[in-house]
Amino acid sequence: MSASNHWHLEGNLVADPEAGRSATTVARFRLAVNSYDSKTKTRVAKFFRITVFGTKAEFVLKYLTKGSGVSCSGELDIDEWVDKASQKRYDFPPKGGGGAASPAHSPAPGGVPFDEEDDGGDFSLV
Protein backbone atom coordinates (compact mmCIF):
# COMPACT_ATOMS: atom_id res chain seq x y z
CA MET A 1 0.00 0.00 0.00
CA SER A 2 1.37 3.44 -0.86
CA ALA A 3 0.96 6.41 1.44
CA SER A 4 0.11 9.94 0.42
CA ASN A 5 0.66 13.23 2.23
CA HIS A 6 -1.48 15.72 0.35
CA TRP A 7 -4.19 18.19 1.36
CA HIS A 8 -6.44 20.58 -0.52
CA LEU A 9 -8.47 23.58 0.72
CA GLU A 10 -10.76 26.03 -1.06
CA GLY A 11 -12.05 29.15 0.60
CA ASN A 12 -11.78 32.92 0.91
CA LEU A 13 -9.09 35.14 2.43
CA VAL A 14 -10.12 36.56 5.81
CA ALA A 15 -7.76 39.55 5.48
CA ASP A 16 -5.16 40.89 3.08
CA PRO A 17 -2.03 38.69 2.88
CA GLU A 18 1.00 39.77 4.90
CA ALA A 19 4.64 39.68 3.79
CA GLY A 20 6.96 37.66 6.01
CA ARG A 21 10.63 38.17 6.80
CA SER A 22 13.00 35.74 5.15
CA ALA A 23 15.79 35.44 2.60
CA THR A 24 13.08 34.41 0.12
CA THR A 25 9.69 36.06 -0.36
CA VAL A 26 7.12 34.81 2.16
CA ALA A 27 3.37 35.48 2.22
CA ARG A 28 1.01 34.54 5.02
CA PHE A 29 -2.77 34.64 4.92
CA ARG A 30 -5.79 33.23 6.72
CA LEU A 31 -8.27 31.17 4.76
CA ALA A 32 -11.93 30.63 5.73
CA VAL A 33 -13.26 27.29 4.50
CA ASN A 34 -16.95 26.38 4.65
CA SER A 35 -17.93 23.14 6.30
CA TYR A 36 -21.26 21.51 7.14
CA ASP A 37 -22.17 20.40 10.66
CA SER A 38 -24.57 17.48 10.18
CA LYS A 39 -25.63 17.52 13.85
CA THR A 40 -26.86 21.12 13.81
CA LYS A 41 -27.54 21.11 10.04
CA THR A 42 -25.73 24.42 9.65
CA ARG A 43 -22.76 25.73 7.72
CA VAL A 44 -19.72 26.63 9.76
CA ALA A 45 -16.46 28.25 8.74
CA LYS A 46 -13.07 26.74 9.62
CA PHE A 47 -10.04 29.05 9.64
CA PHE A 48 -6.52 28.09 8.54
CA ARG A 49 -3.25 30.02 8.47
CA ILE A 50 -1.40 29.45 5.18
CA THR A 51 2.22 30.29 4.33
CA VAL A 52 3.63 30.34 0.78
CA PHE A 53 7.16 31.00 -0.49
CA GLY A 54 9.05 32.31 -3.50
CA THR A 55 7.24 33.25 -6.71
CA LYS A 56 3.96 31.89 -5.31
CA ALA A 57 4.29 34.31 -2.39
CA GLU A 58 5.00 37.18 -4.79
CA PHE A 59 1.80 36.30 -6.70
CA VAL A 60 -0.26 36.16 -3.48
CA LEU A 61 1.05 39.53 -2.27
CA LYS A 62 0.47 41.19 -5.65
CA TYR A 63 -2.97 39.86 -6.65
CA LEU A 64 -4.92 38.53 -3.64
CA THR A 65 -6.88 40.61 -1.15
CA LYS A 66 -9.43 40.08 1.61
CA GLY A 67 -12.36 38.05 0.24
CA SER A 68 -10.41 36.56 -2.70
CA GLY A 69 -11.41 33.01 -3.56
CA VAL A 70 -8.40 30.68 -3.34
CA SER A 71 -7.67 27.02 -3.98
CA CYS A 72 -4.61 25.68 -2.12
CA SER A 73 -2.91 22.31 -2.03
CA GLY A 74 0.34 20.98 -0.66
CA GLU A 75 2.21 18.54 1.51
CA LEU A 76 1.77 18.71 5.28
CA ASP A 77 4.77 18.56 7.59
CA ILE A 78 4.57 18.74 11.39
CA ASP A 79 7.33 20.06 13.64
CA GLU A 80 7.15 19.41 17.38
CA TRP A 81 9.19 20.74 20.30
CA VAL A 82 9.00 21.36 24.05
CA ASP A 83 8.63 25.02 25.08
CA LYS A 84 10.12 26.75 28.15
CA ALA A 85 7.10 25.67 30.25
CA SER A 86 7.81 22.00 29.31
CA GLN A 87 4.67 21.88 27.16
CA LYS A 88 4.77 19.91 23.91
CA ARG A 89 4.15 22.29 20.98
CA TYR A 90 3.42 21.61 17.31
CA ASP A 91 3.92 23.61 14.14
CA PHE A 92 3.50 22.93 10.44
CA PRO A 93 6.70 24.29 8.85
CA PRO A 94 7.48 24.40 5.15
CA LYS A 95 9.15 21.35 3.66
CA GLY A 96 11.38 22.08 0.72
CA GLY A 97 10.60 25.82 0.56
CA GLY A 98 8.25 25.57 -2.44
CA GLY A 99 4.63 26.60 -2.47
CA ALA A 100 1.50 26.62 -4.57
CA ALA A 101 -1.49 28.87 -4.29
CA SER A 102 -3.74 29.84 -7.13
CA PRO A 103 -6.81 32.04 -7.17
CA ALA A 104 -10.07 30.20 -7.56
CA HIS A 105 -12.28 31.22 -10.46
CA SER A 106 -15.00 32.20 -8.01
CA PRO A 107 -15.38 32.47 -4.23
CA ALA A 108 -16.09 29.28 -2.32
CA PRO A 109 -19.75 28.22 -2.57
CA GLY A 110 -21.95 29.50 0.24
CA GLY A 111 -19.44 32.09 1.42
CA VAL A 112 -19.85 33.30 4.98
CA PRO A 113 -19.09 36.68 6.54
CA PHE A 114 -15.54 36.63 7.88
CA ASP A 115 -14.68 37.66 11.39
CA GLU A 116 -11.48 37.35 13.36
CA GLU A 117 -12.35 33.92 14.80
CA ASP A 118 -9.46 31.48 14.49
CA ASP A 119 -9.30 27.77 15.24
CA GLY A 120 -5.51 27.73 15.37
CA GLY A 121 -4.88 25.55 12.29
CA ASP A 122 -1.48 26.22 10.69
CA PHE A 123 -0.56 24.96 7.23
CA SER A 124 2.32 25.65 4.92
CA LEU A 125 2.14 25.07 1.21
CA VAL A 126 5.00 22.96 -0.08
pLDDT tens across the length of the chain (126 residues): 677 888 899 999 999 999 988 888 999 999 999 998 899 999 999 998 888 889 999 999 999 999 999 998 887 766 677 888 898 877 654 444 444 443 333 333 333 333 333 334 444 443
From the candidate CATH numbers 2.40.50.140, 2.60.40.650, 1.10.150.300, 3.40.30.10, the one assigned to the domain spanning 7-124: 2.40.50.140
In the chain, what are the domain boundaries? 7-124
**Rounded distance, CA 102 to CA 125, Å?**
11
Residue 62 host element (H or E): helix 54-63
pLDDT confidence of residue 63: 95
What pTM value is reported for the model? Answer: 0.60
Q: Which of 28, 34, 4, 2 is nearest to 16 (CA)?
A: 28
